[in-house]
Structure 1
Amino acid sequence: MTWNWRAALAVIFLLAAGTASASAEPSITVCEDNDMRGRCVTLRHGVNNLRDWGISNAISSFRINSGAWLLCNGVDFRGDCRRFTNSVRNLNGTPFQDAVSSLRPVRRDGSGSERSAIVIYERTNFRGRSWVFTDDIANLAALGLNDQGSSVRVLGGTWQICRHSGYRGCYTIREDIADMRAVGLNNQISSIREGYRGPDDWDGPGRPGGGRGAEITLYRDSGYRGPSRTIRYEESNLAAIGFNDAASSLRLSGGRWQLCSDSGFRGRCVTVDGDVGNLADWRMNDSISSVRRISR
């Protein structure tokens, strides 16, 4: 058998290109005219109302640069919605010709529902331009969106919005927030991720898959109920994330943690190494102003 090295190289290059495409951030280019002509806009995030971007009901073709995308002919992903994995050069004869009003990427790892998404708005009360996300984003600065967002709408699922990159200083939400000042995160969102992994799902050091590390989640009510904040390393002033003197219970995903009554890890401090269903038992109910991990 004759070895065809040119053919072998071609296969290698194709496989490498396919791998790069599969791992690339979602990206789509939408155009006003057929065959990718006219005014075009490239998006790396979803949009729940394309009118805010000046391209609602004006799309005749699109090119999927990476990922799979959900296109809908109604705002807020209502109406006729379809999933696309390939580009379309002419939407004529489809329900989407000059009718696409919202779109968003489909979660890359295949988990979760296509109805699970979070919308970040630049202004309070869900006004102004918006950005729709279906995937975890460890650093919004990479998309030019760091420390933006004054209101949030949850379209499905449970999400963590985090003050710092790398999912640090997080707040877990399951419903809309009309004004991020209410949770101390107005124009301070730097990373987001879907879902909350409780103690049984922790994949930090000492567990298979490692890498996430220990976390503490503070809850406003006893019994792990009510609004919450998740912290990975430390928070020297809980007022900065809108949770000063507000915790009544907590869960740990590993490690030993110090809880202090004053900011800067001062005042009365106690150490916990497991879940606490009622902080009144520790004389710390509604009295915690700073927390930090002191060991794994």
Structure 2
Amino acid sequence: MTTSPATPVRGAGRRGLIALATALVALPAAAQLTVYERDGYAGQALTADRPVPDLQRQRFDNRAASAVVRGGAWEVCEDPGFRGRCVRLEPGSYASLASTGLSRRVSSLRPAADLPPAAPAAERIRFFDGERFSGATFSTDQTLTQLQRHGFDDRASSVVVDGGTWELCSDARFGGRCVSFSPGEYPSLAAVGLDRRVSSVRKVAAEAPVAVDTPAVRFFESEYARGASFVADGALPNLERAGFGGRAASAEVRAGRWEVCEDPRWGGGCAILSPGRYPTVASMGLSDRVASVREAVDEVVASPVYDPRRRPQERLYQARVLEVREVRDGPQQRCWIEREPVADGAPRPNVAGAVAGAVIGGILGHQIGGGSGRDAATAIGIFGGAVAGSKVNRQAPATQDVQRCTSDQAAGPPSYYDVRYDFRGMEHRVQMTTPPQATVTVNERGEPRV
């Protein structure tokens, strides 16, 4: 068979290029995996978009400690040629591969698109005698009444639940304090009061909640409840000690009310979370990732913050604004202290001074003149001395401190705008930080979108 040069057709070249460009844009994003040599996406990195049967050729054998998966799932294996133990990584961020048991043990990797779907995870739990999945390990898929018989009594500091729901107890035969764990990663059992205190373990019903006996909040490493997770059911002044410091990007409150803060020991910005889902840090009312958490006291509860961002493939509409009301803070009170006399605080005469003055005045008057003149002078001396004496050291009027206050109307820009709008014949309300235009953007249910 022979071939001949193709004869160009006028105008076909441009149309062909346009068709090719359109096809390339329509292609889905290729699966891509980036592995890092240290936890937390630190150190040297290697990015792959095709199978790598032997990482030794890339000088990255047994070095991967964290990973980021984009565009599709990947399979990482501990031996070259995709042999040995393999783990499937779904799209997301993995700040530590320790929970998979393959930290610094990956020797080959490949996209999982051509592999059969992953089978449901076996009902298994893995124990580690160090926090953050370090140290000696022990796994089981059976109920164990006494871990002492297996050499792991009071040793577990972190666990990974690969499948099923498991109950861990502080005493043998499921006595003492017991906490249930659903599939996930738990880098520190100190958060639930079981660090190096687990003596028995058993499988329980799938619907059993995490931390049955106490309220709980689950934090996720990535937004929208993705990636590694961590469950807290008590006060944690520093999530760093639990292996989750600076990692909590979203949360789910299953029970109770929780105070989450941006700084350790409940410092910085804080917010109260009630039961619900919080897909981002901003939805929790914070500007930075969670650093400390504790169960909230009886205070005003903040409901889950509504996330107004547009969802993928969501159709948007314009709703007519009916009313905009500026809302300002209430009047502020200004107070000060004044001194004023009491109601019955008139000056009081000096009685003792009046008596002494009358005696002295009488003596002096008696020495003037003679006969009836002396008597008149004596009388005048007594009267004058009494008046003068009563004014000596006279007590000052009594006073008291009085608080006076006045109210000043709030000034400055409004705190927010209360907006009432109509969508398909139904009224809705929303609070906005800036005044709206004639319409607001909503979805098909009338929910605001930005």
TM-score interval for Structure 1 and Structure 2 normalised by the shorter chain: 0.3 to 0.5
- With structure 1 as the length reference, what TM-score do the two structures score? 0.41
Q: Which has the higher contact order (CA 8 A, sep 6+)?
A: 1
- Greater C-alpha Rg: 2
